[in-house]
Amino acid sequence: MPNLAANLRGSLRHSAIDARRVTMAAKNASCMRLRAMVMVGADPNKMAKDVFGIPTNSEQSGFALRQGNAFERAQSRNGAARLLKALQDAGILDPSDVRVLDLAQLPGLTSPNPILRRRARRRAAAETERALRSKIAGAADAPNVILQAHLTLPLGDDSELATVRPDALMARSTEAMYRVGEIKSFAALKHLTDEQDVGSAAAQSGVYGIALETALRRLGSQLAVPTEAALVFRKPGGFNAEPTLQRIDRDIETARRMLDQRPRSLREVAAILGAGQALDTQANVLRLPANFTGTCRSFCPMWQVCLNEARRQGAPAVLGRDVEEAIGALGTIERARELLAGAAPANDIEREIQRRLVAYQDELQEAVA
C-alpha cells in the first residue's frame, strides 16, 4: 500500500528499505517506533535530525564506505577471480566451482535516472529468481556464486518491500542450496578479529538468510537455507580475502522474531497515529511505543529521543542493563526507591527485589567503610 506509506511519511523523504535498516529493527524487535519507521520507508537518521534536531553519526563514514567499496570491487573484478580463489582455499567451494553471476554489472543499477534504476532492479530480481530456480532444480550449470542478488522481503501485511542484496550467495555444485556471504573490509585477525565486526556481519547475514528463505518458499521450494554464512574479511596488508564460516542460526531467528512483531501492517501504524497524521512531527513519533534499552545507543539514531522519554518515565533501562535486570520487574525507578526506603512489598517479586536491594546497599556500605 504505497500511498499509505507516503501518507505516513508526510514531508519525510522516501528511503529504500535495505538490509542495514532491517538489521537495525531486528536488534530491538520489540520497538514499535523503530519498526514503524522502517516499514514506511523513513530513514531513522533523518528522523532524528530533521524532526528532533539531533545530529547523528550513525551512518558509515565516507572513509569506511570507500574502503569497503574498494575491497568489494577487488573481490568481483575479473570474474570474481580473487573471491573464488579465497573461497576455494578455505574449502567453501571446490576447484571446479567457478560459475559466477555478477548482477552488480547490470546496466542502469547506478543510473541517476530513477526510471532506469527501477528497471535495472526489476531485471536483477528476475535474474536472481532465475538462478534460484536453476539451483532448486539441481541444474548442473547453476551459478556457484551470485554477486549482489536482489531479494525482496515483506516487513508486514501492507508495508513497502525491503530489497536486500547479499554481497554473495555461494554453493558447491554438489550442494542443494546457496549459503549467504557478507564481504566486509574488516581486518581478518583469526581469534583476534573484532567481535563487534563479526557480530555486525553475522546479524546482517541473518537478514539475508530470512530473505533467501522467503524467496525459496515463494518459489515453492522447501529447501533449507544453510545456517552458516561465509564472512569474507580482508587479510591485513592488501585486498586479499580470508573467508570463514560463521553460524547464523541465532541471527536468522532474531530476524524472524522481528518480522513477527507488531506493528504487522501500515494500517496499524495509522490507527495509532490517528487519521491523516504522519511521522514528520515529534508528537506523532512519540505516540508510537518505544522499547529503550542500553544497547540502543550502539545502533539506533533515535536512542537519545527514547532515552529522554525513558528518563521522564523513570524507566529502569536508563540505569544500564545490570540495574534494569535487577529492578526491571518493578516498572519504575521510583518504586525501587520506595522499597529500598522500607515500603511494604506488594508481592513475592517485590519482596525478593527488596531483599537484593538491601543486601547490595549493605555490601556497598561495608566496602566504603
What is the structure's pLDDT at 369?
45
Q: Is 319 exposed, middle or buried (0-12, 13-18, 19+ CB in 10 A)?
A: middle
Crossing angle between the packed helical segments 249-260 and 195-218, to the nearest 10 degrees: 60
What is the structure's pLDDT at 324?
61
At position 41, the amino acid (one-letter code) is: G
Q: Please state the separation of Cα 87 from the chain's center in Å.
A: 25
How far apart are alpha carbons 59 and 65 in whole angstroms? Answer: 10
What is the structure's pLDDT at 264?
84
How far apart are alpha carbons 215 and 16 in whole angstroms? Answer: 19
What is the structure's pLDDT at 330?
72
- Render pLDDT for 12-57 as a digit per residue (tens, 0 to 9): 999 989 998 999 998 888 899 999 999 999 999 999 999 999 887 6
- Render pLDDT for 57-102 as a digit per residue (tens, 0 to 9): 655 556 667 777 888 899 999 999 999 999 999 999 999 999 999 9
Q: Please state the separation of Cα 57 from the chain's center in Å.
A: 17
- Render pLDDT for 115-168 as a digit per residue (tens, 0 to 9): 999 999 999 999 999 999 999 999 999 999 999 999 999 988 887 789 999 999
What is the structure's pLDDT at 294?
79
- Render pLDDT for 247-286 as a digit per residue (tens, 0 to 9): 999 999 999 988 888 788 999 999 999 988 999 999 999 9
Residue range 302-308: mean pLDDT, rounded: 90
Is residue 368 over pLDDT 50?
no
- Render pLDDT for 187-218 as a digit per residue (tens, 0 to 9): 887 777 788 888 889 999 999 999 999 999 99
What is the structure's pLDDT at 127?
97
